[in-house]
Amino acid sequence: MNMLGKIVLVTGATRGIGEAIAMRLKAEGAELIVTGRDQERLSAWKSQGVLGIAADVTDVSEVEELFTEIMTRFGRIDVVVNNAGINKDSLLMRMGDDDWQKVIDTNLTGVFNVCRAAIRPMLKQKQGKIVNISSVIGVIGNAGQTNYAASKAGVIGFSKALAKEVASRNILVNVVAPGYIETDMTQALTEEQKAAILRLIPLGRTGERDDVASLVHFLVSEENKYITGQTIHCDGGLVI
């Protein structure tokens, strides 16, 4: 499962799950490109010899510039992991237009923008692997997260359609849907909220960032030659 020499882009790689995925793939030998909002973390990546670019996935021109830079430097792109995402939780009756639109723009349109740019060179190469990070919330829903659930459900439908479009060119497209993973976002939960969540998880514990990173690593490695169009839950059994 080593990634030696593979040209890999991970979006939203300056914290949380995205950072863990990027760290795993770099450790396995990938030639890594990362994007993210945290300039300090981007600088830290650059100090490790990683190409760090502060590209906004909602901005088509910035995504195009990102891929121009990748193709100029490396001449190809082998793997894309779309992890960039935000949440702006609120009950629907209190949700502002901006809170809806920003979540859709980042979580769903951002995936569209990056995949559209990545597919062009992958089609020419006749190979490539894409993993889009969704969420169990896109499968089961959650009160106060209609915007987030819609965006993550959209990622699943988008990825299935794309997988069918590009399968004939040996491009595999899959979705990973994490459950409750220990990140900065879950750290903000109260003890009461955490206890309620744990009661829903058959394994009785939240997941670690590396649980998701390991799954993504397998899907983008040479070990995966025949899995495409799938949504794989990394959730301790939450959606059972």
CA angle 158, 22, 164 (to 5 degrees): 20
180 noted as active-site residue: no
Tell how strand 7-10 and strand 231-234 pair up.
unpaired
Contact 224, 172 (CB under 8 A): yes
The catalytic position among 67, 148, 158, 180 is: 148
For residues 79 and 171, give the distance between their C-alpha atoms in angstroms, rounded to a whole number.
10
Integer-rounded Cα Rg, in Å, for the chain is 17
User: How is the beta sheet containing 171-178 ordered, strand by strand?
Assistant: 51-53, 31-35, 7-10, 79-82, 128-133, 171-178, 231-234
Residues paired with residue 52 on neighbouring β-strands, in sequence order? 34
Q: Would you name the residues annotated as active-site residues?
A: 148
